[in-house]
Each structure stands twice: as C-alpha cells, then as structure tokens.
Amino acid sequence: MKWPHPVLFSLVICPWVIAQDAAPSGAGTLPVAKPATEGKVWGALIFATDDAAQLTGSQEKPPASLPKLNERLSKVFSFKHFEILGQHQQDIFREYESWVVPSRDLFLKIDSKGPADQGGVNLHLQVWREQQVLVKSEAVLRPGSPLFIGGPKWKNGRLIFVLSLEQK
C-alpha cells in the first residue's frame, strides 16, 4: 500500500488532535503513569558558625521528623549555631535521577540503587556546585537517620548538606 502525500496525511490528523485537546477533562484521555518512587527525601543547606552575628536571620525550620537537628549537628560538627539557608523535599525515583535543590548554587543529585537491607534506600549521591561535581558517594539512607555532608568553608563557618528519608 502506498501512503498518501505527507501533507494530506497531516491535514487529516490535525482535526483529531485539536478535538483531543478540546475534550473535557477526563474524557478520551489516557491516564498518565507516574514514575515509581523509593520514597521522599528532605534536603537542606545549612550554615554552621560560632559567630551568631554571621547568621542571615532565616526563619526556616526543619521538618517535624527531625527533632533536635541542631543538637545532632553540634555532635558531628564543632559549631554553636546552625541555620537553614534553603530546603527542598523531593521524590526518589526508581529509574530516574532526582535532584535536591535547596539553593541555586549547591544541589544534590540522587540515584536510587534500590531498597536497603533492614529498611531505607541505597543511594548514589553527587554534590554539585553550579556545573561542577564536588563529591560522589554511596550511602544508605534510613528514616530517622539523616546524612550530614560537610561542605566548603563559607564566611566564618561552614556549609553542611543534610539529607533525610521521610517516613512512608
């Protein structure tokens, strides 16, 4: 069978496409499959310092699932003051990369490597600053057990990336 001229074929199809776009919501449309997820993460960029005058005055708070975050940070990093500069919640997709973007300069790429033994998720992580990868690492992230990643020195302190797996 010989196909008709491509322009004629386009003219025949176009009215159907227009009719599809004009259809009422839910009528004649196919359901959109959502990508499978391993869970949801909360990520934050935190400024740690001993000098309270260096704090920016941000009023951002961590999620309720992370009580006493500052106390936990002070046990790992030797600073007195911690401030959330930006935060972001993101799904962890099974077959796609996910990005946690708490600031426009520093962000985290997450690739799921599947469920971890005893709960949680196996992850491949990359910390990015603009177009450059700063750190690559493998980690297991479990609910209630946040991951702290020490970042570069900044002002009179240090930047810290926090990643936490949210409860399902």
Reduced to 3 states (helix: H, G, I; strand: E, B; else coil), residue 124 is: strand
Q: Which two tokens stand for residue 113?
A: 């490597």
User: pLDDT by residue (tens digit) across 16-64?
Assistant: 333 334 444 555 566 666 667 778 999 999 999 999 999 989 889 999 8
SS3 content of the chain, % helix, strand, coil (to 5): 15, 45, 35
pTM, full prediction = 0.74
d(CA 14, CA 54): 61
d(CA 61, CA 86): 10
How many helices (H) and strands (E) are present in the chain, helices listed first?
Answer: 2, 8
Q: What is the mean pLDDT of residues 150-168?
A: 89
